[in-house]
Amino acid sequence: MDKKVNANSKNEQLEQFRANDKDKAMTTNQGLKVSEDEFSLKNGERGPTLLEDFHFREKMTHFDHERIPERVVHARGYAAHGEFELYESMHTYTKAKFLQTPGTKTPVFVRFSTVIGSRGSGELARDARGFATKFYTEEGNYDLVGNNIPVFFIQDGIKFPDLVHAMKPEPHNEIPQAATAHDTFWDFIANNQESAHMIMWAMSDRAIPRSFRMMEGFGVNTFRFVNAEGKSHFVKFHWKPVLGVHSVVWDEAQKLNGKNPDFHRQDLYEAIASGNYPEFELGVQMIEEKDEFKFDFDILDATKLWPEEEVPVKIIGKMTLNRNVDNVFAETEQVAFHPGNVVPGIDFTNDPLLQGRLFSYTDTQLIRLGGPNFHELPINRPVCPFHNNQRDGYGRQTINVGQVSYHNNSLAGNTPSPVSEEEGGYTHYQEKVDGHKVRARSESFKDHFSQATMFWNSMSDPEKQHIINAFSFELGKCKEKTVREQVVEMIMNVDVDLACQVAKNLGITIQATNIPTNSKVSPALSQSNSAKKPDTRKIAVLVSEGFAGELIATLDALKAKGTMIETVSDHLGAIKGADGSLLEANHTFSTADSVLFDAVYVASPQGTTPTYQKEAAYFVKEAYAHFKPIAASFYGGQLLDELGLKGQAGVITEETENSFVESFIYAIAEHRFWNRAV
């Protein structure tokens, strides 16, 4: 009997493939012990290297072949292992086994990514984020390959190569890297107006997340749930981060790309390493077959979302990411996702974007991973057994025994054999499809602006301002005036005020002609309505020699509330307090910067050293400009006084609040103070 799948099944399977080279004798790949690894075999000490030096040849050849093609999109990514636990049975809607029994735990592997940039690009690019999850279920791998934005740029898969060509660095000079602020991208947008809704999201704060741990995930495409009776529901998948949805500001994003281009991966890695496991709840929106045409949008159109207020999100389980990878290449780079990896009870719809995706993913893995056996790579193997008549190919690892590799056969009793639906055989939902073969788009896909307007209507004032700023930045970087003008004309269809403000910033004169009429609002779309928690937020404590000894108790109280404390001073190592107590400096002002933190705490008086005097002021001013909470005590308030910041929103001093720690924690949970004068 095969062992039952549990939360640890994947880890156990991977254990067979892990190798630890520590304390071992060095060998060649053939297992031959090596006596020397620093000098190639030469004809005399100063002579040429000999061709017979097999050790040199093997080592160099392997090195020469270390690189594989990066993903054509989503090249820059980072991943972690975890588990998914079901809250309630979904048997009414789907027969998928991992969604039947509450408490069932399924191992998962999740890769987060940016879309446009190459493998080494900065992680704070303005871009959608990939959010791809592989569930290793007892019925095979199920991949939920989503993004952190619920809609997409295009409606039909055939346009994807055009979109990506327009997005990527321009071909004549390969500039700019990991950025949409250039002519070809915006030329594509203006001339492919189905992108209107997605571009609103891409210009919003969603495109510059604070952390992978603070993003929603969306399956984007419309899938089907099918239950044991064969009844189908249309379904959209959502991941909801327990820490809420939060972003950085654009100036911060740009600086972060320089100060720490690994900001997001480091944040994820450190959170998991320190036991602060990221959590996401899985939600589903479901629509009955009979209601397919009930909405004022086509539910198969990937440029549309299903407003949560109209189709509620049912929360069905929680994913916890609890283990970092052991080796980024073996796991994160070699993992191969495919939205076509489904299990019984989950099926496709005619969503034309999804249909295009169903071809592309296997195809791209074939070139990226060098042949048809990538399913055998440890990270991609299902945890349940797999058997068929597929054979051979580059890098084949399985040793299929026996003489039979075809079906039907008599020599192996006609096995491996397909099994009935009742025994777990996958059957496709028998949707009736009747139509002419045409290259066309349905009339019902033609409204490109109503939901873009709804998104705009749903934003808070600061969010709206950020969108205006983003359009102004991106279009301001375009060289062609005509491109800017076309985009402004396009967004006139979204909102006249938005278009006018962007036009003003770009020095374009426009006539307000198309007045959008959609007044719909979906509060779920605004990040201002998201969960607010202080947990895992990073506080930079600016501290210098002679600090007040009581500071240590305050820092402990802040830590007890779930925040992460890091000290910044003018030198590394021990800093001595006035009463002799010691604090370890984690950073100096040259290795740390306010953009790396969520909040700043000024804990030493101004002027204790010349460096502190100068650098602390710079640190605080920048945090203030990025709307971050700032606190000061033990005479640190002197600095805030000097900078004229006392009394501003989100600025906490001992004098202004009764309970300093409580007020600071509340401010940290608030994330940013947009109503601050900057």
Site for ligand HDE, residues 77 to 96, rule: CB under 6 A: 77
Instruction: Give the C-alpha separation, 561 to 659, whole Å.
Output: 14
Check the annotation: does 368 bind a ligand: yes
Check the annotation: does 357 bind a ligand: yes
Evaluate the CA torsion angle 246, 247, 252, 253 in order and state its sign: positive
Evaluate the CA torsion angle 115, 118, 119, 125 in order and state its sign: negative
Instruction: Give the C-alpha separation, 415 to 226, whole Å.
Output: 28
Cβ proximity to ligand HDE, 159 vs 672, nearer residue:
159
Site for ligand HDE, residues 315 to 344, rule: CB under 6 A: 335, 337
Cβ atoms < 10 Å from Cβ of 363? 10
Cβ proximity to ligand HDE, 154 vs 558, nearer residue:
154
Check the annotation: does 57 bind a ligand: no
Give least dist CB 205 to ligand HDE, A.
19
Cβ proximity to ligand HDE, 121 vs 457, nearer residue:
121
Of the candidate residues 179, 313, 353, 631, the single one contacting ligand HDE (CB under 6 A): 353
Name the residues annotated as catalytic. Answer: 74, 147
Of the listed pieces 28-36, 86-94, 357-365, 636-644, which binds ligand HDE according to CB under 6 A?
A: 357-365
Cβ proximity to ligand HDE, 9 vs 221, nearer residue:
221
Of the candidate residues 5, 116, 132, 346, the single one contacting ligand HDE (CB under 6 A): 132
71 forms part of the interface with ligand HDE (CB under 6 A): yes
Instruction: Give the C-alpha separation, 612 to 614, whole Å.
Output: 5
Question: Where is 268: in which H helix or E strand?
Answer: helix 263-273
List 286's β-bridge partners, or say none: 235
Residues with Cβ within 8 Å of 423's Cβ and at least 6 positions away in sequence, in order, are none
Of the candidate residues 147, 324, 554, 606, the single one contacting ligand HDE (CB under 6 A): 147
Of the candidate residues 152, 234, 455, 612, the single one contacting ligand HDE (CB under 6 A): 152
Per-residue DSSP letter, 4: P
Site for ligand HDE, residues 192 to 251, rule: CB under 6 A: 219-221
Check the annotation: does 129 bind a ligand: no
Measured N-to-C along each axis, helices 461-476 and 496-506 cross at an angle, to the nearest 10 degrees, of 40
72 forms part of the interface with ligand HDE (CB under 6 A): yes
Give least dist CB 303 to ligand HDE, A.
10
Give least dist CB 311 to ligand HDE, A.
18
Instruction: Give the C-alpha separation, 110 to 113, whole Å.
Output: 10
Check the annotation: does 126 bind a ligand: no
Question: Where is 646: in which H helix or E strand?
Answer: none
Q: What residue is closest to ligand HDE based on CB?
A: 130
146 forms part of the interface with ligand HDE (CB under 6 A): yes
Half-sphere exposure of 574 (CA within 13 A, CB side): 5
How many Å separate Cα 120 from the centre of its chain? 16
Nearest to 632 by CA among 650, 614, 615, 618: 650
118 forms part of the interface with ligand HDE (CB under 6 A): no
Give least dist CB 198 to ligand HDE, A.
9
In the chain, the N- to C-terminal Cα span, in Å, equals 67
169 forms part of the interface with ligand HDE (CB under 6 A): no
SS (H, E, C) 142-194: EEEEEECCCCCCCCCHHHHHHHHHHHCCECCCCECCCCCCCHHHHHHHHHCHH
Cβ proximity to ligand HDE, 368 vs 532, nearer residue:
368
Check the annotation: does 111 bind a ligand: yes
Instruction: Give the C-alpha separation, 73 to 125, whole Å.
Output: 14
117 forms part of the interface with ligand HDE (CB under 6 A): no
Cβ atoms < 10 Å from Cβ of 323? 18
Give least dist CB 628 to ligand HDE, A.
30
Q: Binding site: which residues?
A: 71, 111, 160, 357, 361, 368
Footprint on this chain of ligand HDE (rule: CB under 6 A): 71-74, 77, 111, 113, 130, 132, 145-147, 152, 157, 160, 219-221, 302, 335, 337, 353, 356-357, 360-361, 364-365
Q: Binding site for heme: which residues?
A: 71, 111, 160, 357, 361, 368
